[in-house]
Structure 1
C-alpha cells in the first residue's frame, strides 16, 4: 500500500510555457513542494511550440496534451478511451477559462484551485484573441457556463482559493460557501527569489535605471485584461503635472505591440520604458525605488 497518494494536477500551462504567469508559478510551487515531500505528482497541461510531450521538472512529471484550448478535449478522450484519470488517487483541477467538468467523468476525489473567476475577462479578451465572429459569440456562452453550469457540477467539490475577493466571487456565482476554502499564498515569494528555473527565464535589462524623477512601475503579463492600456491613456494627464515622469512597464505578452503603438500615438516615447522581463532582484529593486506601483488589471485574485 502506498504511503502517499498519487496526485494529478490539471492546469492549462506548465512552468516552461512562454506565457506562464503568476498563477502557473504558484501552481508549480505547490506541486514541487509536494514532490519534495515524497508525493508522486503529475501535471497535465497544454503544449506550446517546441515543447516536449512529457518531461520531469524538479520532481514533477509534466504531460502535455495538444495546445491550450485542445487539452481539455484530449483529456476527456484519454479518460473515456483509456481511463487515464483512474491512474491517480487525487485530482486537483485549476478552475479558469476552461473547466473539464471532471465530476461527470471520474469518481476519483476532485479538488479545485481557483485563482480568480474570468467573468468580464471573457468579453475583454475574446475579440482580441479569437477575432470575429467567435470573439463576440463565445464570451456570452462562457459567462453562462461559468455562472449556471460550474456551480451545479462542482457543488460537492472543495474549492481552494487565495483571496477573500475570489471567495466572495465564487459564493456570489453560486458555489456553496461551506465548500469554498481560503488559504494564503505562502510559497511563490520564496520560489521566485531563489529558484533558478523561474528567475533563469528572466532577461536582465540594463535600461532600468534608478532616477530622481517621479517613477511609476507596472508589472505583469501584457494582456488586454491587465489594463495597461488604461494606465498609458492616463499618462498624458500625469505628464502635465510631472513632465519628467517615467513609467516602467515590466513584462512581456501578446498585447505588447498594441501598447507600444498606443504609447507612440500619445507622444510618450520619452516617458514610457517597456522593460520586458527583468531578473527577480532587479524587479524588487525597481519596486522599492519607484514612487508608485500600479496594478490596473480588470480582475485579479487580490485581497
Structure 2
C-alpha cells in the first residue's frame, strides 16, 4: 500500500482508513507493507527512513529529500519529490530483497506516480482507492492551474488502475463520470469504524439549552456556513441553543465573520483541533451532531458519531446520504438548504426520545455494514480478482476549458 499519510503522520481521515485497513488485513494473515513518509519539513538527518513492523504491518516511512519544497506553496513539486523518494525506497527495500508484491494499492492521487511506477516494475495489478476528487472538492470546476494538474493526475491514476475502489455509490458514479469511459471495474467498499475507540453512551435527559456539535475541517465544502445561517432560526424556537465547532481549516476567519453577520457569535465556540478523548466527550454531551456538508465522498465522522450514540442530523450529499437514512438512523436535509437544516435540527431537539432511538439504531447498523473486518474481507476480494491489463499508450485527458462559475454570494473569494 502507498499512502501519503499513515500514523503517526496523519493529516485527515485517509491516514486512519489506511491504518485500520492495513492492520485488519494483517490480522487476517495477509503480508502487508505500507510505503509512507516521515513528517513534513523534516529531512534524512533529523528523520531518516525507518523500516518497522507495527500491529503486524511492515511500515516503510521514507525520509524527505533535501530539495526545499513546501506543500502549501509547491504542492505539485512537493508531491513529485515525495513520489520519487517512495520509488527509490520501494525498489531498494523490496526489489533489493527479492520480495515482489502481488498487488500495489494506491490511496489517492498524491501517490499516483510511485504506485504506477512500482506496479509497472513488478508487473503486478494496480488497485486504487479514490477517496475524493479535485472536481468534487470544487463543485465540479477545475479551472485553476493547480486544480487542473491534480485532476489530470487523478484521471491518469484511475485509467492506469486494474481495479478501482470507491467509498460510496455516489463516489463510484463521480469517478466514472469524471474519468471514464474506459475504466476498469469500480467496487464500492464503505469506510469502516473501530467501535472500541468510539464508546457508546446512552442519551441522558437534557436540562437547559441544547448544545449542537460540528466536527470537521473548516472548509467551504463542509457546509458549516449553512449551519451558522440556520442557527438564528433554531434559536428562535429553542432559545439558548449553542454550537460547538471542533476542527481547523483555511476558512476559520471567514466563518468567524459569518457568526457576526448572523449575530450568533456569542452562541458559537470554535475549539480548534481537539484530541480523540475530547471529541468523544463532545459527542456524548451534544444534543445532536450536525453534518451539513456540500461535498462528502463518505463522511466517516458520521460513523464515529453514530458509534458514540450522538443523534445525527446530516445533509444527503454523497456518502452521507448512504450512511444516514432518514428517519431510521438520523434526520437529513438537502445540501445547502438552510431552511431544511433548521427544520431537521428543530425536530431532533423537539423529541429527544425519538432522537435517542434513531441514535441507537444508527449504532446497531454499524456492526452489520461498517466493521473493519468486513471492509478488509471485501478489499482482499478485490486484490484476488484484480488482473494486470494490457497497457496502451495514453494521450492527455481532455479537461474542459470552462470559466469559473459565478461565485456563491456566501462563498469566500
TM-score w.r.t. length of structure 1: 0.70
In structure 2, C-alpha distance between the alignment counterparts of 1:64 and 1:255, rounded to whole Å: 31
What residue number does 1:152 align with?
Answer: 159
What residue number does 2:348 align with?
Answer: none
What residue number does 2:59 align with?
Answer: 61
Match of 1:234 among 227, 230, 233: 230
Give deviations 1:140-176, integer Å, cap 9, x for gaps.
44345545x444333xx11122222212222223166
Q: Would the alpha carbon gap of residues 64 and 233 (structure 1) be closer, same or farther in structure 2, given more than 3 Å must change? A: farther
In structure 1, C-alpha distance between the alignment counterparts of 2:49 and 2:62, rounded to whole Å: 6
Match of 1:52 among 47, 69, 81: 47
Deviates more, 1:215-224 or 1:61-70: 61-70
Q: Would the alpha carbon gap of residues 100 and 29 (structure 1) be closer, same or farther in structure 2, given more than 3 Å must change? A: same
Match of 1:21 among 8, 12, 24: 12
Alignment of 1:11 with 2:11, yes or no, is no
What residue number does 1:294 align with?
Answer: 290
Are the equivalent residues in 2 in contact too, given 1:251–1:276 (CA < 8 A)? yes
Aligned residues: CA RMSD: 3.7
What residue number does 2:265 align with?
Answer: 269
Alignment of 1:212 with 2:199, yes or no, is no
Aligned pair count reads 267
What residue number does 1:137 align with?
Answer: 145
Deviation at 1:216, TM superposition (A): 1.9
Are the equivalent residues in 2 in contact too, given 1:12–1:71 (CA < 8 A)? no
What residue number does 2:128 align with?
Answer: 112
What residue number does 2:107 align with?
Answer: 94
In structure 2, C-alpha distance between the alignment counterparts of 1:48 and 1:190, rounded to whole Å: 30
Q: Would the alpha carbon gap of residues 228 and 45 (structure 1) be closer, same or farther in structure 2, given more than 3 Å must change? A: farther
Match of 2:249 among 249, 253, 273: 253
In structure 2, C-alpha distance between the alignment counterparts of 1:279 and 1:80, rounded to whole Å: 35
TM-score w.r.t. length of structure 2: 0.53
Match of 2:195 among 190, 199, 204: 190
Give deviations 1:6-62, integer Å, cap 9, x for gaps.
xxx212222223x62222211111122334446242222363245834344544414
Are the equivalent residues in 1 in contact too, given 2:213–2:286 (CA < 8 A)? yes
In structure 1, C-alpha distance between the alignment counterparts of 2:146 and 2:196, rounded to whole Å: 36
What residue number does 2:385 align with?
Answer: none
Are the equivalent residues in 1 in contact too, given 2:4–2:110 (CA < 8 A)? no
In structure 1, C-alpha distance between the alignment counterparts of 2:48 and 2:285, rounded to whole Å: 42
Gap runs ≥5 in structure 2: 65-69, 200-205, 298-318, 323-413
Deviation at 1:276, TM superposition (A): 3.4
Match of 1:179 among 185, 195, 205: 185
In structure 1, C-alpha distance between the alignment counterparts of 2:243 and 2:49, rounded to whole Å: 40
Gap runs ≥5 in structure 1: 1-8, 127-134, 195-209
Deviation at 1:277, TM superposition (A): 4.1
Considering only CA atoms, is the larger Rg found in Structure 1 or Structure 2? 2
Are the equivalent residues in 2 in contact too, given 1:54–1:61 (CA < 8 A)? no
What residue number does 1:201 align with?
Answer: none
Are the equivalent residues in 2 in contact too, given 1:101–1:150 (CA < 8 A)? no
Q: Would the alpha carbon gap of residues 81 and 164 (structure 1) be closer, same or farther in structure 2, given more than 3 Å must change? A: closer
Deviates more, 1:97-106 or 1:223-232: 97-106
Q: Would the alpha carbon gap of residues 52 and 14 (structure 1) be closer, same or farther in structure 2, given more than 3 Å must change? A: farther
Match of 1:39 among 25, 31, 34: 31
